[in-house]
């Protein structure tokens, strides 16, 4: 749910916290007193578990919006003392989307951080050396993709690229496929 109040754009999460017997108004007042920020409480959610990551789930997290004018350098550092993180840091950059139900993820889409990259990552290489072996080129491109994109996206791109490369009949065609995913900058001039 995009916050319709234009003064509160940044969604935050306080992990491992519950309101208990307090009200959302109590929480908002506590945030003002403790960190000198105005917030609008969104909701308390319970996390999913993950067998793969050996996480039980069931943790309570508080979601709330911070007033735009209160996102200061001071708040950006002080927030860590009480366990506050940007929503986007949790669900986009730290691959924490598995923690939340699809309903929660749909209700609170990330406001930033998941924009498609407008440029491909650059792969500087000398194809007139041992780096020029197509398997070396693929390995270097794979490493670059994994370092550039978040987990699921990098896996998808690497698998897609690898599958396409294996179908090519020539070295040049294989390089052209790799160049769809990364920008090959060949210092030898073999590939232009």
Q: Are 141 and 178 in contact (CB under 8 A)?
A: yes
Q: Is the pTM of the predicted complex or chain greater than 0.85?
A: no
Residue 127, domain extent: 122-186
Same domain? 130 vs 176: yes
> In this predicted structure, what is the pLDDT of residue 1?
47
- Which distant-in-sequence residues (6+ apart) come within 8 Å of 123 by Cβ? 137, 140, 141, 144, 178, 182, 183, 184, 185
Q: What is the DSSP letter of 112?
A: S
Domain presence at residue 1: no
Question: What pLDDT score does 131 carry?
Answer: 86
**What total number of domains does the chain contain?**
2
Alpha-carbon distance 90 to 58, whole Å? 17
**Average pLDDT rounded to a whole number, residues 45-54:** 78
Residue 96 sits in the same domain as residue 12: yes
Per-residue model confidence (pLDDT) at position 118: 53
Distance CA 163, CA 81 (A): 46
Residue 102 covered by a domain: yes
Domain boundary among 82, 107, 132: 107
| pLDDT exceeds 60 at position 117 | no
Asked whether residue 68 falls in the same domain as residue 134, the answer is no
Task: Return phi, psi of residue 185, to 5°.
Answer: -115, 95
Contact indicator for 57, 48 with CB cutoff of 8 Å? yes
Amino acid 74: pLDDT: 85
Please tell me the predicted confidence (pLDDT) of residue 24: 96
d(C-alpha 41, C-alpha 164), whole Å: 48
126 and 102 together in one domain: no
Instruction: Give the pairing type, strands 183-186 and 122-125.
Output: parallel
């Amino acid at each position: 749910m995009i916050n319709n109040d234009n003064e509160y754009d940044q969604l935050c999460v306080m992990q491992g916290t519950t309101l208990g017997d307090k009200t959302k108004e109590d929480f908002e007042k506590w945030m003002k007193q403790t960190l000198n920020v105005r917030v609008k409480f969104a909701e308390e959610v319970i996390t999913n578990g993950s067998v793969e990551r050996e996480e039980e789930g069931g943790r309570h997290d508080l979601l709330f919006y911070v007033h735009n004018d209160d996102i200061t350098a001071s708040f950006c550092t002080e927030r860590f003392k009480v366990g506050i993180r940007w929503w986007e840091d949790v669900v986009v950059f730290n691959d924490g989307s598995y923690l939340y139900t699809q309903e929660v993820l749909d209700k609170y889409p990330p406001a930033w951080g998941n924009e498609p990259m407008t440029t491909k990552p650059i792969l500087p290489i000398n194809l007139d050396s041992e780096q020029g072996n197509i398997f070396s080129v693929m390995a270097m491109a794979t490493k670059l993709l994994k370092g550039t994109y978040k987990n699921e996206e990098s896996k998808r791109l690497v698998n897609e690229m690898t599958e396409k490369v294996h179908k090519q009949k020539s070295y040049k065609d294989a390089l052209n496929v790799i160049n769809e995913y990364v920008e090959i900058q060949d210092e030898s001039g073999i590939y232009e």
